[in-house]
Chain A
């Protein structure tokens, strides 16, 4: 079977990244213009979901790293 290799070239990787950042910029541009119907006050704040999504994922990784320090054991831990 033919092998795909689209992401092997650095140019294509760059392109993918470019479109991704363009999409992010587009979302930020649209945000102030949409008709919001928030259930909570803060939901109506501009860019609330963008900020919360970013903050959530960064804190997720921080907490996961700390968790790994606590719960990580050797892969044969239960075999001994």
Chain B
């Protein structure tokens, strides 16, 4: 059965009507849009829908299969939860941006060809940046511009790759591409996707922009951009072992940054990269178990990462502060937020009975089945490390630790409701993952709960916690401090400065020189020449002679001066612009000398 409207259209066109509603009707409408998408998706049979002919190509707006559906469900679900969380916001622009952003993420998910995908890819970047700018601080304005520029460059690379790919294959079909087979086209497409997925070293836009977004906007951002990129990578590059290595590296390096970051949402942004690393690694391994692991992990991760961003967003909303150096002891007055944060922390750390446990282990098991020893050790290291920074550091320094003296209260009802819903789902999927397993692209015969697995995971986590406890008590743990930590964005942030210097200094100088020569000297020269060419030549000759005689202190000086004055007087126009400065004269003399030497040598 053909469905009436594509999910992307519901949200993108639905967003246009947001400003026309008021009060409770507006709240209901904002919740209705993602709910309608969820209902739309349920029971949608597999197949290709909404096909439009365009310039001889088929644009497919609805390719429904198991892989696209599992991402579609979670995107719609998190948009619903995120909307509940954002209901108190009195800023239509933010609501509209969130709707269009979620709609375009769904558009990417259900695109059946690369051209449709590209259109939604760009809408996603353009709409999401408003969630950063809406914070209306100077830093958010700057970070938003950097975010936009990085994504536009990434989009251009993607477009170039797509055009080359279409030229080579004759078809814009969005399906398996693989590395190497289509030469540079496949690499360009990979880079385009990798920017959004935050693949090392193209990741720094993420910990740069997300902490600067609004308290509610960051929730949508944490869910959509990277995970839609994970989805497209799972479709186009499964089994590319390079991705498994990049993914494994990505699980590890952000946790070091997370340990020394001060802004709590920056800690979460780095841990987001670490979690995406697990998914990328699964895609790179590429076996059915690994792809299932990547999809399941994306599903669970979106929920608990949004929950963590919501709890930190609540702290920011209520206290106006988000840095570890400013926070502490908030469990006293924000117990509900604290509890939700700890549920999110337990989930991301993959504690048994929480959602990360039932999904992350699939990827690690897949690495073990393929006998990837080094990758396996990386992933286990990251499992312990993620507990360390996202699981302990975020709740500890925000809600416990030293008492900052801040006294506030839990956030408004809608924010609590959103956090409660996400927290419930995190526990539900941890206790009873079967509904999620049924959604996965391949049949699942994975059993997460065995004594060995549970005890092993608990040992890994609890003894990691022991290390944290001992290091905190001994004072060895790196103290929180206000600082900037350099990441690979140094290259474009300082690179941009260098570029601007180059434009402002050397290039502008050359430009001014060219303008002077082209618009001052040359027209004047031609104007003078056109009146009496012979007279000009005489003046130039005598000017040069005069300089030479002046140098040699010759007796002819006065004679030449008189002759020059006569030439100038008899010229039909005033000689306003002429005259050779001594410096220019020296330069000409020097150059003539060099020329003479060079010509002599070449003989």
Contacts and interface: CB of A to CB of B under 8 A. Distances in A.
**A and B: partners?**
yes
Interface of A: 1, 3-5, 7-8, 17, 20, 23-24, 27, 30-31, 34-40, 43, 47-54, 56-58, 60-61, 63-65, 67-68, 70-78
B409 interface: yes
Contacts of B452: 34-38
Interface in B355-373: 365, 368-369, 373
B350 to A, nearest CB: 12
Given A52-B384, A57-B464, A34 B451 contact: yes
Contacts of B256: 60, 63-64, 67
B384 A61 contact: no
B153 interface: no
Contacts of A57: 384-385, 388, 463-464, 467-468
Contacts of B461: 53
Contacts of A75: 482-484
A9 B175 CA distance: 60
12 contacts: A1-B409, A3-B407, A4-B333, A27-B459, A34-B452, A50-B463, A53-B384, A56-B381, A57-B464, A61-B259, A68-B478, A77-B486
Contacts of A39: 365, 368-369
Contacts of A61: 259, 467, 471, 476-478
Given A57-B384, A71-B487, 18 more contacts: A7-B400, A8-B403, A20-B469, A27-B458, A34-B455, A37-B452, A52-B460, A53-B384, A53-B461, A60-B255, A61-B478, A64-B259, A67-B260, A67-B485, A72-B260, A72-B483, A73-B484, A75-B484
Contacts of A63: 256
A7 B255 CA distance: 28
Nearest to B478: A65
A3 B461 CA distance: 31
Interface in B446-463: 450-452, 455-463
Contacts of A49: 455-457, 459-460, 463
Given A39-B368, A72-B485, A53 B463 contact: yes
Contacts, number: 139
Query: How extensive is the interface on chain B, given as a class?
Result: 35 or more
Interface majority SS (helix, strand, loop, mixed), chain B: helix
B380 interface: yes
A27 B468 contact: no
B321 interface: no
A58 B471 contact: yes
A34 B574 CA distance: 106
A4 B465 CA distance: 24
Most central of A36, A47, A57 by chain B CB within 10 Å: A57
A53 to B, nearest CB: 4
A49 B461 CA distance: 9
B466 interface: yes
B485 A56 contact: no
Give the one of A43, A51, A71, A74 with max B CB within 10 A. Answer: A71
Contacts of A7: 331, 400
Interface in B328-357: 331-333, 335
B208 to A, nearest CB: 10
When A and B form their complex, which 9 residue pairs have the shortest distance between CB atoms, in order from nearest?
Answer: A57-B467, A39-B368, A53-B460, A49-B459, A64-B259, A56-B384, A50-B459, A53-B463, A54-B463
A77 to B, nearest CB: 4
Contacts of B397: none
Contacts of B457: 49
A64 B478 contact: yes
Contacts of B478: 61, 64-65, 68
A31 to B, nearest CB: 6
A25 to B, nearest CB: 10
B376 interface: yes
Interface string B365-403: 100110001001000110011001000000000001001
Contacts of B255: 60, 64
Contacts of B260: 64, 67-68, 71-72
Given A58-B467, A60-B385, A61-B467, A71 B485 contact: yes
Contacts of B388: 57, 60
B257 interface: yes
Given A5-B332, A23-B462, A68-B478, A54 B467 contact: yes
Interface in B249-265: 255-257, 259-260
